[in-house]
Amino acid sequence: MAAFEYVVLDANGKQNKGVMEADSARQLRQTLRDRGLMPLEVSPASDRGKPKSDNFGISFTRRMSALDRVLFTRQLATLIASSLPIEEALSAVAQQTERQHVSALILGIRSKVMEGHSLASSLRDYPNSFSDLYCSSVAAGEQSGFLDRVLENLADYLERQFESTRNVEMALFYPVALLVMAFVIVGALMVYIVPDMISVIEDTGQALPWFTVLLINITDALRNYWWAILGGVILLITLVRWALAQSNIRLRFDQQKFAMPMIGRISRSANAARYANTLSILTGAGVPLVEAMNIASEVVSNTWLKRRLQEATQTVSEGMSLKVSLEQVGQFPPMLLHMVGSGEQSGELDSMLNRVATYQQAEVERIVSTIVKLFEPAMLLIMGAVVMFIVMAVLLPILSMNQLV
């Protein structure tokens, strides 16, 4: 049986959506008619997971969110650990979720499993929801017979990723909101309030201080050429995005990141944590080291580091140790290298990688949190300086008028 999404009209003429399993779309339509419903649209749920885009490359594919993926993995691991067959576990998880598109996606996976495909193969039909790391780990768990343990490890890994991402987003929320509000308030003052006050001062005919002249020029520019300024900003962003999309420019830019004082440290720790975490999951699931390194290198976001890691994978396949190969990359923290060396000697590489990944992720969160805490008072100082400039530009001519009187 396959999973189908449908849109129907009930007896009151109201549209309803849902997901149901059936042998065919024709059978589902007949089932809906027997229930007194008028089917308007019936489509296989499995089609919703395939990548779709328009002529401009914009994707319209629905996918699992990070939180949905964590819940799916944790629930599936718990049910499989309870000796429930995979197809029944998937059906139970699909019924548990409240989101229709997630339920349809899970039922699409279940229909593939019931057709005889492995769980890993079924998950690969949804690349926007399940990464190579996820699918390879599940495949290793199925082959080794420890699928429940692998899913538990994956759930822990995904939870840590979700928590760290949410912590960074929450830390950045207040300063970003403050910055946006500051631009809105200052922009409104410059466009609607300040011009009226300055026109009154200009009518007096007195010589204006340079503070006021500068403010007048800025206000006139914002009011008369806002479209050009906005267009220039959009053009600049477009050019930067286009330049970073070029492989050679992006490669040089990513290499230079490591030389920047604060950005280099964040990039180094974040990529090290992601690589070590992925490698830990895969090696713990029984994936061969070379294959695990290939998959883990794809998780790294820095293109220059990714290329260096691919070279390290090649040297490991030729017989060199993992520690020496990563040392040749040159951009991994010393702690990671020492822990990898210790793990290779003791035979607990996955455990050591997991520990160092946790430490590196905590280091990234600490640095970002420190930067955000410094950003908040800096924003207040900048806004205070801008407001003081506007006040001085308006008050100085008024004070001059009082002195003349």
Determine the 3-state secondary structure of 341 from DSSP.
helix
- Whole-angstrom CA distances from 57 to 60, 177, 247, 301 are 9, 31, 18, 21
Q: Return the structure tokens found at 356.
A: 């160092």
pLDDT recorded at residue 401: 61
pLDDT-flagged residues of the chain (< 70): 1-3, 20-24, 45-62, 144, 194, 197-198, 201-202, 204-207, 400-405
Distance between CA atoms of residues 6 and 297, nearest Å? 40
Q: Return the structure tokens found at 309.
A: 């890691």
pLDDT recorded at residue 146: 75
Q: Which residues touch 248 (CB under 8 Å, ≥6 apart)?
A: none
H/E element, 183? helix 147-188
Distance between CA atoms of residues 365 and 392, nearest Å? 41
Distance between CA atoms of residues 93 and 331, nearest Å? 42
Domains of the chain: 2-49 (3.10.20), 66-149 (1.20.81.30), 265-358 (1.20.81.30)
281-305, pLDDT tens digit by residue? 778 777 788 888 888 887 787 889 9
Say if residues 339 and 356 touch (Cβ distance below 8 Å). Answer: yes
Distance between CA atoms of residues 81 and 87, nearest Å? 14
DSSP state of 126: -
Sheet containing 15-22: give its strands across: 15-22, 2-9, 38-44
Phi-psi region of 181 (alpha: psi -120 to 50; beta: other; left: phi over 0): alpha
pLDDT recorded at residue 53: 44
Q: Pick from 360, 403, 374, 382: which is nearest to 161 by CA?
A: 360
pLDDT recorded at residue 107: 84
Instruction: For Cα atoms 113, 117, 122, give the angle at the middle one, nearest 5 degrees.
Output: 70
Distance between CA atoms of residues 338 and 358, nearest Å? 15
pLDDT recorded at residue 48: 46
Q: Return the structure tokens found at 86.
A: 């995979």
Q: Are strands 15-22 and 38-44 parallel, antiparallel or unpaired?
A: unpaired
